[in-house]
Amino acid sequence: MNKLEADIIIVAGGAAGLAAAVAAAQGGARVVVFEKGATTGGTGNMGMGPLGIESRHTRLKQFKPTRDEAFEVFMNYTHWRVDARLVRAYLNKSGDTIHWLESLGVEFVEPASYFSSAYPTWHLIKPATGKPGPMASATMMKILTDRAKEMGVRILLQTPVQKLIKEGQRLVGVLAEDQAGETMEARGRAVIIATGGFGDNPQMIKKHTGYDFGRDLYSFRIPGLEGDGIRMAWEAGAARTEMAMELIYGMPEVMTIGPELHEACRQPHLLVNLLGERFMNEAILPNTTFTGNAIALQKDRCAFLIFDDAIREAMEKDFDFLSVVFPFPRIGDFRESIGKAREQGYQHLFTADTIAELSSRTGIAPGGLRDTVAAYNRSCAQGYDDLFNKEHRYLRPVKTAPFYAARFFPSAYGSLGGIKINYKTEVLTKDWEAIPGLYAAGTDACSIYGDSYVFVLPGNTMGFALNTGRIAAENALEYIRTPKSDFS
């Protein structure tokens, strides 16, 4: 059996794990990172940037919120169903973490919000190309990886941890499998779990959240995120938290149709369920969390955006909503785009010459859709939506053939929660006692959102990962410097 020793062992090298590795190395610890994949970064390679409260960027622009305001917004949003001490520790550290990342070489552009009623807390990363966008955070992951290696952190790729080692109540190491398939034993004084949740494990998703991947949920699947760290923590005595999906909404297999067409189908037009009924104010669509929640309550967790050819023509001139992620101001040729999607076998876009035909093709109840379109058109004519108070400027009738429909389901960035921690990121037992030497950071322990992602403060999940990674490292450093007798 191959053996090695370190002061702090980190399980997985994503955003939380790399932040922990760099912070621990800065504190003088010998650090080893076990990464299941062939590269570091994990989900952290896919994003655009973390949350930061009272960073120099927000302060220079006099952007709100302050740390106190952010805490109040966060806790009111979650109805105080979450760990307030942990939330406070994370938010208070988040601005400093932006500065810490800059000291390592990460560059940011002006903070952004995700939709008009959200706060500009989202610190978009400036990638190597210079233009922020999806996967810009891969630049940050590379910088963290490089800095970790420069400080002597040993990163073992394609070496998944399989089990935590305990002696008495204390964590003292891990067992892993190296690239040759041999068992490796690593001994250390503290272990930090940062494996990114279970977004690539449909069985865990079904068991712990109730969603059936590929039927009523089309979430992001980052290979390797199978809940390994959560399972190992439970085996070591960790208490369980509520587990959920970080819910949003979208069209299935969105990369098949491309982001431009997808954004065209997320504009504030008529939205109905399989009964043909409206169920929300479509002006809320940019808040993808709220929209995902609303769709999840419908029959078969399914919804359809309905619009006509006049609206199609208008979208080729200008969109109502511009996305920070995919900032297309319009769609060039909708009919050409939908034709290409169909050529590729895409089955979630529909065209029909009549509303009755559209009902038949989509499976929407014909009577319900007929009545809803008639009622909606009357609201458009009178300029007032007496059902959901939709803004006048978005009230456009559906009456000019051909008619279009786009089918949506809940989606998710990944999973949330599993391992119970305190504000020091110490892993807790069912009796709320810290397991000596065991810490958890990032998605595995992210149970601070209550029932909905706190999208009003964007950048939260990446922010939580980076900040709890740092917090875990700092507390692990303090722990390994404390005489063992102090824990007896």
For residue 408, the SS3 value is strand
For residue 183, the SS3 value is strand
Cα end-to-end distance, the chain, whole Å: 31
Q: How far apart are CA 178 and CA 174, in angstroms?
A: 12
* Res. 256 pLDDT band, cuts 50 70 90: confident
- Give the whole-number percent of the chain exceeding pLDDT 90: 95
Strand 434-440 versus strand 2-5 pairing type: unpaired
Predicted confidence at residue 127, as pLDDT, reads 94
Q: How far apart are CA 191 and CA 335, in angstroms?
A: 55
Does the pLDDT at position 161 exceed 70?
Answer: yes
* Res. 485 pLDDT band, cuts 50 70 90: very low
- Give the whole-number percent of the chain exceeding pLDDT 70: 99
For residue 220, the SS3 value is coil
Q: How far apart are CA 346 and CA 343, in angstroms?
A: 7
For residue 474, the SS3 value is helix
DSSP element (H, E) containing 9: strand 8-11
CATH number of 248-411: 3.90.700.10
Predicted confidence at residue 484, as pLDDT, reads 64
DSSP element (H, E) containing 193: strand 190-193
The DSSP line for 344-356 is TT--SEEEESSHH
Mean pLDDT, residues 44-57: 96
pLDDT tens by residue, 186-232: 999 999 999 999 999 999 999 999 999 999 999 999 999 999 999 99
Task: Tell me phi and psi for residue 56, to 5 degrees.
Answer: -65, -30
Mean pLDDT, residues 296-314: 98
Q: Cβ–Cβ contacts within 10 Å for residue 232, how many? A: 23
Residue 178 is given by DSSP the state -
Instruction: Residue 333: name the closest of 349, 348, 359, 313 by CA.
Output: 313
Mean pLDDT, residues 233-257: 95
Those residues whose C-beta lies under 8 Å from the C-beta of residue 82, and which sit 6 or more positions away, are 75, 447, 448, 449, 450
Q: How far apart are CA 101 and CA 83, in angstroms?
A: 26
Mean pLDDT score across all residues of the chain: 96
Q: What residues form DSSP beta bridges with 242?
A: none
Q: How far apart are CA 251 and CA 304, in angstroms?
A: 10
Task: Tell me phi and psi for residue 123, to 5 degrees.
Answer: -85, 95
pTM of the model: 0.96
CA 167 to chain centre: 35
CATH 3.50.50.60 fits 2-243+417-487, yes or no: yes
pLDDT tens by residue, 116-160: 899 999 999 999 888 899 999 999 999 999 999 999 999 999 999
Half-sphere CA count of 391, side-chain side, radius 13 A? 8
DSSP element (H, E) containing 341: helix 334-343
Instruction: Residue 119: name the closest of 465, 454, 390, 412 by CA.
Output: 454
* Res. 487 pLDDT band, cuts 50 70 90: very low
Mean pLDDT, residues 419-444: 98
Mean pLDDT, residues 84-102: 98
Predicted confidence at residue 486, as pLDDT, reads 52
Predicted confidence at residue 1, as pLDDT, reads 75
DSSP element (H, E) containing 11: strand 8-11
* Torsion angle of the four alpha carbons 245, 246, 248, 252, in this order, in degrees rounded to the nearest 10: -50
Kindly tell me the burial class for residue 15, based on how many C-beta atoms sit within 10 Å of its own C-beta (0-12, 13-18, 19 or more).
Answer: buried
Query: Contact 249/265 with Cβ under 8 angstroms?
Result: no
Query: Domain extents for the chain?
Result: 2-243+417-487, 248-411
Q: Cβ–Cβ contacts within 10 Å for residue 183, how many? A: 13
Predicted confidence at residue 130, as pLDDT, reads 80
Q: How far apart are CA 262 and CA 424, in angstroms?
A: 41
Query: Contact 374/396 with Cβ under 8 angstroms?
Result: no
pLDDT tens by residue, 70-85: 999 999 999 999 999 9
Predicted confidence at residue 11, as pLDDT, reads 98
